[in-house]
Structure 1
């Protein structure tokens, strides 16, 4: 199968790594009315696609029943307005295979699967993990390299080897290593997508071949992130850089108390949802909220 045939042209531009909004009540239940507001806000703000049940969604603390209901609500509410990417990953290969086979993925375009965390597998182990998932998955898989969360890096060589599997169509690269990303861009098969996993590196990554970004900031600033990304994809780097620099002071605050604590505080300030997070994460401190509010 030619890699170009398996490319996902709809997964280009700005994807939103969607948070899971919780109620400010002691049980921090999933806030479905807020979820619907956030879906409309990001889509109307120009996001090209949505990513749900990723790490920004606090997926480790969301139950299986909640995940199923969130997916149902999202599919029903967006009604095909934008493509949907769904996060399925983990550090038990057989368990992830089972999720891929048993989850109702109707209406989903692709799977985003983070490299295994905690186990710290070798590169050979990571390759075998992803090959097993790619063979089992009914949908195309986008790799996700995020060493800051997983404690292991997908090297460029590992990514390039996996890129030749017909059912592995791209990578969300959040290593922060631009040279590694350049190597992937220079040597990747035709049709394999390089996607920025770092909002602030989106414009430079697009300059050497990335297809866009899966963004945290786009939860609260979908118009700015999507405009920045579109300008970069069109080769208008002066305008893209101007928008990038406007977001630059805000970005560190999104991660100061861990993601998605900061962006939830921004969303609360915008009146879209509560800043509530589930333990072991805590809601943003008053000081962080105040600094975010001032920048808003």
Structure 2
């Protein structure tokens, strides 16, 4: 039996809008927050990996989190991305997020250094014990080169302020194992847009989505239908988004989604190296999707 929790449904992995010179555009950020408040998005993830956390320095990272919380003004849940491949840095970012009033934190597995499962357990355990704020695990092995096993996630799920996991493997067998083995009150989120509806219908609580940047209202309605076990309507609402789910990853995220939002007039075209702007060939494909959805 799925629990009814405030943190269910569609949550956006928000981009960080930038000017052409790569500086953060805080006016555009404020407008994006309003867009999601008005569109029914349940929560904003600020400074996740879609927010280019890997290319902002720590001062910028904290400033973007702070401004997003201010712009939200308690009208929408704010989850701060505070993961790092250094445990001490993750603790510093998580403490900063707590101090400025974030509702929860999302912590990606430590990337590049490929810790053991015991290392992952100790990493997350220490952060949770050090900073008293709700924390969500984030497993995306395709980007981090380390896979948080179901067994380790289950171990961590017993720690009081570790409240859930974002699983971006796209593997529904992993989703089923998490559903079967984690405590009933442990929140399970899809981090893979292409399989998110099925994940929620299986028993998940929602999704942390890239597509929600572009089509927040539709995705919010689709996820709500899925959460309420209404497969027919969930699939009907999701059907026009299927190509977008795929093509927002036609090049490395967040390259396509930032270009899409720029095309929609939501932000400038800025992105930071080593990420580059979307190729002309990919633009043609994505522009067709946006046109079909009538967002441009």
TM-align CA RMSD: 1.7
SS in 2 for 1:76: helix
CA displacement 1:39-87 (0-9 Å, x = unmatched): 1112211101110010000011112222232223212211111111001
Residue of structure 2 equivalent to 1:43: 37
The answer as to whether partners of 2:65 and 2:97 remain within 8 angstroms in 1 is no
Which of 237, 244, 249 is the equivalent residue of 2:238?
A: 244
Pick the aligned partner of 2:179 from 177, 185, 189.
185
Shift of 1:103: 4.8
Q: Which position in structure 2 is the counterpart of 1:162?
A: 156
With over 3 angstroms needed to count, the CA separation of the structure-2 counterparts of 1:102 and 1:40, relative to structure 1, is closer
Other-structure match for 2:16: 20
State whether structure 2 residue 60 is matched by structure 1 residue 66.
Answer: yes
Aligned length: 289
In structure 2, list runs of 5 or more residues that go unmatched: 291-296
Structure 2 match to 1:117: 111
Separation in structure 1 between the aligned mates of residue 57 and residue 274 of structure 2, nearest angstrom: 15
CA distance in 2, matches of 1:142, 1:64: 20
Q: CA deviation at 1:278?
A: 0.3
In the alignment, what sits opposite 2:293?
A: none
1:221 to 215, 225, 248: 215
Distance in structure 2 (CA, Å) of the matches to 1:286 and 1:168:
42
Aligned residue among 284, 289, 295 for 2:289: 295
TM-score for both structures, normalised by structure 1: 0.93
Q: Deviations over 1:254-273 (max 9, x none)?
A: 11210011111111121111
1:141 to 132, 135, 139: 135
Task: Please give the per-residue CA displacement for 1:102-127, whole angstroms capped at 9, x wherever unaligned.
Answer: 55533211110011110111111111
Q: Secondary structure at the match of 1:105?
A: helix
Alpha-carbon distance between aligned partners in 1 of 2:194 and 2:247, rounded to the nearest angstrom:
13
- Whether the 8 Å CA contact 2:80–2:97 is kept in 1: the answer is no
Alignment check: 8 A CA contact 2:51 2:254 kept: yes
Q: Normalising by the residue count of structure 2, what TM-score does the alignment of the two structures yield?
A: 0.93
Q: CA deviation at 1:32?
A: 1.1
Q: Report deviation, 1:98.
A: 3.1
Aligned to 1:90: 84
Where has structure 1 moved over 3 Å in runs of 4 or more? 101-106
